[in-house]
Structure 1
Amino acid sequence: MATLPATPPAPSRSLLPLLAAVMAGFVAGAVILLSLGERPVAIGFVAAGILAAGVLLASRRLFQTVEVPETVIDWSVAHALAAASNDALAVTDRAGRLVCANDRYEVLFAGFPTPPDLPIGEIANSRLTEAGHAAWRDGEARTAGIQVFGAPVTVRVARVGEDTLVWRFIGVQALDLATQVETLLSGQTGDRMGAAGIMLAMITPEGRIRSANRVFRARATGNAEAQVEGRDFARLMATDASGRVRFERDGAAGLPIRILQIPFLDGEDAPMLVAALDEEPQTLAGSAVGGSAAAHVRSLIALLPAGMALIDRDGRFVHMNDAFVRAARINMANPPLYPGDLVVREDKSALADTVRRFAGSSAQSAEMTVRFTDAPEEPVALTIAAARGLGDAAVLISLKDSGEEGKLKRQVAQAIKMQAVGQLAGGVAHDFNNILTAIIGHCDLMMSRHSPGDSDYDDIQQIRANSNRAASLTRQLLAFSRQQTLRPQVLQLPDVISEVSNLLKRLLGETVHLEVRHGRNLGPVRADPGQLEQVVVNLVVNARDAMLTKSERGGGTVTIETAAVAASQVRQMDDDFLPVGDYTSLRIADTGAGIPADILGKIFEPFFTTKEKGKGTGLGLSTVYGIIKQSGGFIFAGNQPSGGAEFVIYLPVHTATEATIAKLPAPTKERSLDTWGTGTILVVEDNDMVRAIAERALTRQGYTVLTAENGEAALELLDQVERPELLISDVVMPSMDGPTMARHVRERYPDLPILFMSGYAEEQLRRSIDLHNVAFLPKPFSVQQLAEAARDVLAPK
């Protein structure tokens, strides 16, 4: 590990030994923990640093008259430990200066550039900068998929003490392949392949030669010992009118050669391995390159991290390396004969035709996308190139093992799909809420003219009951789309479980046992207790059904657990989707058959269900997902090692009071049932039916009602009439929405009470308006609810 000079300001010369001991102990411990993963040894080094600091501090107090010489930090222990790591390590101070780095870091970046100013591109350095800021703030940060010279690298940054960052570059071992291949070319392997007539060179992305075997040097320059490093590869070649390639030195009388490109690292900045083969008649027939040369080629391909396979002229597999086997999920106990055996039926003919075309032509390469039978939902890009002159092989197929990348793409696609469906569901629910408001309102008006026992009264009551059932369905849609109206409270999860435990026991029946276990020191959470109860009930009922599916007689155990999850535990989880913070977790598990792997990623999708037709809507888990996400939490589904499914919910611990929009006062027993009132109310609603219902309902209660169809019309109306006592407005309207109109009205009448009504969520309203003295009435509402809301807003405070 190289130690670089730095001149940080020192508060006192006498404190330098103390600071040096503490710094050496902390950094050595951090290097051990990050590179070797030995936690006890790391703790030992940190303790030794603290002990040394204590001894120095005691000595300074006992012998204050003795001048202590300035001490230089000894990095030798950290050097020895970091040298054993396969990762590139570097340490920077608070001022952003590079303090030290190991040899692998020096080789990787050709020196000692300071993170995040590395020669890897602006985008990658920008991500490193964000990771550094996060590490200073949170103590640790991680960023994956950074392209370093063509290879994906994961970078972990950890803060050590208060003034040091340790940078760890994981996955740089793949970059060593270039050095390994370079060694192979210049060694005996290169000579053996040269004896078989295979000329090899490794070139940089700029087209300059980095290394070559002896036979290539001899053909290109006439001297097997000549230096070709740094020379332009293209300038050593010449092309005739027929498109055939020859060495420039051989002239027109030289033998034509075939150029085979082998990309052994991904990325545009990665080096390229090039094989040159003589196009002699016997070579084209396959006799010049014997089995020995083909074996060397296979050995070379086996070293490469990219998945590669050789195909013969009949379209059968000749050879495939380990990376290809892993990426294609091949069972070597029953290996495939043809590439078409790996892909779905729709892609078989296209892949076979492409392989056949390249086997009989001189085309260089092409790409195509296929889907493997083991993962039909994951398209895979194949690169197909002609490879004549390599014995039985005629075609080279390469693919990239993009398991993590494909997983991330599927997660992003799932998130986009859920968002799109959520927006659709929210819009549908909003429109239905307007319609249901009109239906319920008209029912209320009709029921006021009919008394119980009337022949029409029961029919009206039935219409109203069904309308309320439809309203509950729209609430489910809004819950899925995270746009429902919540009434959040600061509460404890055990209290919610206790409230619903009796209902759960009745739902589970006598054959299913319910176990409830609560952890200690649980932090409070802020959520809607009614919605959390719905979450628990849905998950428990699903668990009961899963165990009934496993056994026709039912039976089993449902476990509900709560626990406190500290930020340090979340950091150790290293989950990309769970932000670091303090949480209270809720775990619901069963002893059923578990969730099949092929549907685990779909269970939160709307309308997806594994139940029999007519026994499930597919909205249960999607509603649970929506409620948890709207409450600021996270939910994860999985299977237990012992069998059975489990759902784990993380709700952030509530630590601060949040500003909320004024809500309607909670109903109390002492509140008057009289809804009669006086004064002028301005109703702004773009839906004609809802506007008409609101006008008739409020007029029946004694109010003078003015109406407008949008915000602009309401402002024009206010110019012509006196100040109203109350403004009732829809939130989402064309032309000018309710919050924008309310701001203009408040400029004219600062103390005017406002009642918003909407089929969307109050949470959406809270983010779009910051006015005081604002109340909210969710749709659909009844005539009585509208009258009570107007009365409560106008009531003297």
Structure 2
Amino acid sequence: MPALPDPDSPDARITTLIILGGLVVSGGLIWLALGDWVPLALFAGGLVALASLILLVRHQFPPRSDVQRTMPDWSVTFAATDHPTIAIAITDEAGRMICANQRFIDQFGAEMVPPKLSLAGQGGDLLAEAGRAAWRDGEGRASGLVAAGVPIDAEVRRVGRGQDYLLWKFEPVARHDLAVEADAMLVGRPGRALGEGGFMAAAISPEGRIRAANSAFAARAAGAEAGNIVGRDLASFLRADERNRIYFEREGRKGVPLRLFHLPLVDPLHVTDPAEREKAPALVVLIDEDPAGMDKGTALGYVQTLLGLLPVGLAMTDRDGRFLFANDAFLRAAGITEAELPPYPGDLVVREDKGAIADAVRRHASGQAMAGDVALRLRNQPDEPVTLSLASLRGMGDAAVLLSVKDNSEESRLKRQVAQASKMQAIGQLAGGVAHDFNNVLTAIIGHCDLMLMRHSPGDSDYDDIQQIRSNSNRAASLTRHLLAFSRQQTLRPQVLQLPDIVSDTSELLKRLIGEKIVLEVQHDRNLGPVRADPGQLEQVIVNLAVNGRDAMLAKRPPGGTLTIRTRKVTAADVRAMNSDILPVDDYSAILVEDGGTGMPPDVQARIFEPFFTTKEVGKGTGLGLSTVYGIVKQSGGYIFVDSEPGQGTTFSIYFPVYRGGAVEQRSRKQTAKVNPGQWGHARLLLVEDEDMVRAVAERALTRQGFTVVTASDGEDGLERLGDSGPFDLVVSDVVMPNLDGPGMAVEMRKRMPGLPILFMSGYAEETLRQSISIDQVHFLPKPFSVAQIVDAVHGALAASAPPPNQAPANEGKLPT
């Protein structure tokens, strides 16, 4: 049927107007010719009937759009449907080929219409039915088709804007070749896994020839895992006895009977004929029938596999004492690798123990079953005796003796760490005690120097000598501070801070210290958490490590190198990955100081944090730098590690736990009260000190300031003075004293005078003392101190305990709390 014009087009509208004009003119002519309304009415009715018929026809056969009437560009469709394996074609309502991809042309030809394809069996009818279903329902399918020997599935869909085209898709059906897949598995990792489990497997052709085999089968059948057995007849490797039991031919009469499993490599859903399955390739699996057989890969192999999984060091020898097997734990305990395993156990021990272990193996290999232990020394670890346990084996073929040695490497490492920690703790206690006693001596020296300087003016003959003594005493006091830092007993003033800020503040000083031959590099990580530490002490840590790195790089030839300081964010996941036995799992902010110096051997690394240990020449180092670093880091709650290799440089890693508290109230020494010295000129002081020389200096210094001083030699004496000579405005006391120490004395005094202020003097850390002394309103003066410092401390303690203005004391003879 010819297509009607579109009523909305300009040509259609002009044609309509012409037709209407012609009809009007025709009606007028009829009226003029006949002069009667009846013919004119009949003419009009006929026109209405004709218009109704035209509208009905247009409704049944709608006009095609311009897009449908215009020939489409099928090259775009051809490019979009191109596929290497799927054939695609498009037909119109009349079954004419409109477009097809290259795969369809190659497989079916360019002139063939899909419903008329030459398909095996009933494929043509199935495909035609799929096309009719697509016209009717929009989609149709056909399965089980075969074209040129290739199984295919067809899918037909109704497409297009007017739904007047069919899209045909022909996809080949993929089928797996089980035989090929079995060959690949046997020569790959699955085949090795089967062999480790004791399964010997081979894939054979329908003629019985070997297509592929795993290494376990090759080892038993041909005597070598890499034996060339592909293409050979499977039956040539097997034999049967009079009882129809199967054996490997090469193993002879001593072989182990086998159990054989035959698995056809066909798809049971597609191949159901038993005769066809017999002709298909097959997988043959062999296992040992009798577990008492004792050749490689049999029950002995199972035992070896089990022993290899155990964490205990185990090995087996034959009756002649030769090694048959050793697991990884045994090799680690002996300090060797699998390639270094000698033929005999005697080759693992020192010469003196060779005879003992040979005799022990010989006794356990022959005669009745027995077990015993032998103490010996391994050749690679002659300084650490180990115990070797032996047990006789029966019913295990060539295996006659089971050897067991405990891997003590981890235990020895932990023992060394504990011993090192104990040694460092003991050295720290000793250093703290020495520093405390030395502080008393320095306090007396510095105090007497101050008293003598009060009687000499600059220019006197003795003034410079006294100043020199005082200066040297202050230098000695700095050494005691190093010792206290190592023993973690120095006074710290912790603050919440960021490590990059401390490193940046120290960088300019470091550039001057390390010199021009050393290059300083500073690298900062992002999002570091805050830490709580003493910024001044932390700067000392960085300076000490940088100076040590500088000296190590200047000792090289040629001298020089790069000193790198890094700050790092270390998360709890990073700590878990380190697998450290010392560093707890937590979030840390770390400082890493790396140098390219000469490095350190392990024996030096074990002692670098000990006080007075140094590798420098005499007169060029005190050995207190790294011990001070160690003490500051530990007292701040951090951890320090060293990693060094001779000739490869050294890296010090310091980890501080991330501080998660709120705003921290900084503990700092109170400023000296600005008071008139005469205000406390008549104050009564009780001075308690067990060291005569310190007590004498302090008494003279305070008496010169107008205080009334009563002295006591220990805590019990102080309590007696409080009862006999009290009351007192302030008690100045040492902390560590015989009989009754300072805190114990203070508790008893507070029972009698609750508001009595106390000033403690000590060479130990203020933080440590405050944690151990549960007494409020106490003040602290570190030793050694000068005359001016003790006077200022007394003034400050009295001012801090004074009552507010216009307030009288609460009780006569007692100071307010």
**Structure-1-length-normalised TM-score:** 0.56
CA contact (8 A) 2:295 2:397 kept: no
SS at match of 2:388: strand
Q: What is the CA–CA distance in structure 2 between the aligned matches of 1:616 and 1:299, rounded to whole Å?
A: 63
Q: 1:555 aligns with which of 549, 554, 560?
A: 560
Q: What is the CA–CA distance in structure 2 between the aligned matches of 1:301 and 1:754, rounded to whole Å?
A: 75
**2:336 aligned partner:** 330
CA contact (8 A) 2:600 2:646 kept: no
CA contact (8 A) 1:359 1:394 kept: no
**2:486 aligned partner:** 480
Q: 1:579 aligns with which of 584, 588, 598?
A: 584
State whether structure 2 residue 707 is matched by structure 1 residue 703: yes
State whether structure 2 residue 626 is matched by structure 1 residue 621: yes
Q: 2:669 aligns with which of 664, 667, 677?
A: 664
Q: 1:514 aligns with which of 516, 520, 526?
A: 520
**1:462 aligned partner:** 468
CA contact (8 A) 2:322 2:344 kept: yes
Q: Which moved more, 1:677-686 or 1:393-402?
A: 393-402
**1:739 aligned partner:** 743
CA contact (8 A) 1:302 1:321 kept: no
CA contact (8 A) 1:592 1:643 kept: yes
Q: Deviations over 1:508-531 (max 9, x none)?
A: 111211122334444433222221
Q: What is the CA–CA distance in structure 2 between the aligned matches of 1:506 and 1:370, rounded to whole Å?
A: 57
The alignment's C-alpha RMSD in Å is 4.2
Q: 2:414 aligns with which of 408, 419, 425?
A: 408
Give the deviation of 1:470 after TM superposition: 1.9
What is the one-letter code of the residue matched to 1:349? E
Give the deviation of 1:627 after TM superposition: 0.5
CA contact (8 A) 2:369 2:393 kept: no
Give the deviation of 1:337 after TM superposition: 7.2
**2:753 aligned partner:** 749
Give the deviation of 1:579 after TM superposition: 3.5
**1:794 aligned partner:** 798
SS at match of 1:326: helix
State whether structure 2 residue 506 is matched by structure 1 residue 503: no
State whether structure 2 residue 660 is matched by structure 1 residue 637: no
**1:687 aligned partner:** 691
CA spacing shift, 1:734–1:391, aligned 2, 3 Å: farther
**2:423 aligned partner:** 417
CA contact (8 A) 1:565 1:583 kept: yes
Give the deviation of 1:350 after TM superposition: 5.8
Q: What is the CA–CA distance in structure 1 between the aligned matches of 2:678 and 2:649, rounded to whole Å?
A: 55
CA spacing shift, 1:292–1:522, aligned 2, 3 Å: closer
Give the deviation of 1:535 after TM superposition: 0.3
Q: What is the CA–CA distance in structure 1 between the aligned matches of 2:428 and 2:313, rounded to whole Å?
A: 39
CA spacing shift, 1:341–1:730, aligned 2, 3 Å: farther
What is the one-letter code of the residue matched to 2:754? P
Structure 1 segments unaligned to the other structure (5+ residues): 1-179, 182-288
CA contact (8 A) 1:753 1:793 kept: yes
Q: Deviations over 1:584-622 (max 9, x none)?
A: 322222234555456545443444444456544443223
Q: 2:723 aligns with which of 719, 744, 747?
A: 719
Q: 1:647 aligns with which of 629, 652, 668?
A: 652
**2:779 aligned partner:** 775
Q: What is the CA–CA distance in structure 1 between the aligned matches of 2:676 and 2:617, rounded to whole Å?
A: 50
Q: What is the CA–CA distance in structure 2 between the aligned matches of 1:631 and 1:459, rounded to whole Å?
A: 40
Give the deviation of 1:580 after TM superposition: 4.2
Q: Deviations over 1:224-246 (max 9, x none)?
A: xxxxxxxxxxxxxxxxxxxxxxx
Q: Deviations over 1:170-217 (max 9, x none)?
A: xxxxxxxxxx99xxxxxxxxxxxxxxxxxxxxxxxxxxxxxxxxxxxx
SS at match of 2:335: coil
CA contact (8 A) 1:492 1:525 kept: yes
SS at match of 2:590: strand
**1:227 aligned partner:** none
SS at match of 1:416: helix
Give the deviation of 1:791 after TM superposition: 1.7
Q: What is the CA–CA distance in structure 2 between the aligned matches of 1:764 and 1:370, rounded to whole Å?
A: 49
Q: What is the CA–CA distance in structure 2 between the aligned matches of 1:403 and 1:442, rounded to whole Å?
A: 58
CA spacing shift, 1:650–1:662, aligned 2, 3 Å: closer
CA contact (8 A) 2:735 2:743 kept: yes
SS at match of 1:665: coil
State whether structure 2 residue 438 is matched by structure 1 residue 432: yes
Give the deviation of 1:765 after TM superposition: 0.4
CA contact (8 A) 2:304 2:325 kept: no
Give the deviation of 1:729 after TM superposition: 1.1
Q: What is the CA–CA distance in structure 2 between the aligned matches of 1:522 and 1:791, rounded to whole Å?
A: 43
Q: What is the CA–CA distance in structure 2 between the aligned matches of 1:784 and 1:375, rounded to whole Å?
A: 62
What is the one-letter code of the residue matched to 1:531? Q
CA contact (8 A) 1:588 1:647 kept: yes
CA spacing shift, 1:540–1:702, aligned 2, 3 Å: same
Q: What is the CA–CA distance in structure 2 between the aligned matches of 1:591 and 1:504, rounded to whole Å?
A: 16
Q: What is the CA–CA distance in structure 2 between the aligned matches of 1:320 and 1:717, rounded to whole Å?
A: 79
State whether structure 2 residue 352 is matched by structure 1 residue 349: yes
Give the deviation of 1:492 after TM superposition: 3.0
What is the one-letter code of the residue matched to 2:730? L
CA spacing shift, 1:448–1:418, aligned 2, 3 Å: same
**Structure-2-length-normalised TM-score:** 0.54
**2:458 aligned partner:** 452
**1:590 aligned partner:** 595
State whether structure 2 residue 544 is matched by structure 1 residue 538: yes
**2:477 aligned partner:** 471
Larger radius of gyration: 2
SS at match of 1:707: strand
CA contact (8 A) 1:363 1:385 kept: no
Q: Deviations over 1:717-751 (max 9, x none)?
A: 21112211111111122222211221222222222
SS at match of 1:720: helix
State whether structure 2 residue 741 is matched by structure 1 residue 762: no
CA spacing shift, 1:520–1:456, aligned 2, 3 Å: same
Give the deviation of 1:577 after TM superposition: 3.2
CA spacing shift, 1:342–1:752, aligned 2, 3 Å: farther
CA contact (8 A) 1:365 1:383 kept: no
What is the one-letter code of the residue matched to 1:437? T
**1:604 aligned partner:** 609
What is the one-letter code of the residue matched to 2:773? I
Number of aligned positions between the proteins: 507
CA spacing shift, 1:310–1:576, aligned 2, 3 Å: closer
Q: What is the CA–CA distance in structure 2 between the aligned matches of 1:318 and 1:567, rounded to whole Å?
A: 45
Q: Which moved more, 1:479-488 or 1:325-334?
A: 325-334
**2:172 aligned partner:** none
CA spacing shift, 1:456–1:517, aligned 2, 3 Å: same
Q: What is the CA–CA distance in structure 2 between the aligned matches of 1:616 and 1:409, rounded to whole Å?
A: 31
What is the one-letter code of the residue matched to 2:352? S
Q: What is the CA–CA distance in structure 2 between the aligned matches of 1:421 and 1:795, rounded to whole Å?
A: 40
Q: Deviations over 1:619-673 (max 9, x none)?
A: 32232121011011222333699964322222233343699897532469x8989
State whether structure 2 residue 529 is matched by structure 1 residue 526: no
Q: What is the CA–CA distance in structure 2 between the aligned matches of 1:591 and 1:661, rounded to whole Å?
A: 38
Q: What is the CA–CA distance in structure 1 between the aligned matches of 2:379 and 2:457, rounded to whole Å?
A: 67
Give the deviation of 1:709 after TM superposition: 1.9
SS at match of 2:479: helix
* Identity percentage of aligned residues: 58
Q: Which moved more, 1:648-657 or 1:571-580?
A: 571-580
**1:678 aligned partner:** 682
